[in-house]
Amino acid sequence: MRPTGQKHLGIVLIISVEPVFGILKSVLGFRQFLLHGEEKVGLEWMLLCTAYNFKRLHRLGGFKLAVAG
């Protein structure tokens, strides 16, 4: 049996991920994968995540913040 604390943590994680997919769809314009095959889709997903992370770093104050922290 699961303690109630673990169940609550799962709900928090689900809620915190939702905005990322919204940003990927609306801001970056990502609607579907353009390539076929598991390996190519994985590469496309990594590129998309990298673009999102660079966007976040830029908005939070650039790479100085990332290197200093």
pLDDT (tens digit per residue) in 16-60: 667 777 888 887 788 888 889 999 999 998 998 898 888 888 888
DSSP character string of 10-65: HHHHHHHHHHHHHHHHHTS---S--S-SHHHHHHHHHHHHHHHHHHHHHHTT-HHH
Does residue 43 sit in the same domain as residue 23?
Answer: no
pLDDT for position 65? 54
Number of folded domains in the chain?
2
Give the range of the structural domain holding residue 7, as residue numbers without chain letter.
Answer: 1-30
pLDDT for position 30? 83
Does residue 10 sit in the same domain as residue 38?
Answer: no
Better pLDDT: 37 or 5: 37
Does residue 26 sit in the same domain as residue 36?
Answer: no
Long-range contacts of 25-31 (CB under 8 A, 24+ apart): 27/55, 28/52, 28/55
Does residue 8 sit in the same domain as residue 36?
Answer: no
pLDDT for position 39? 94
Q: Tell me the CA end-to-end span of the chain in Å, nearest whole number.
A: 39
Does residue 22 sit in the same domain as residue 53?
Answer: no
Does residue 21 sit in the same domain as residue 51?
Answer: no
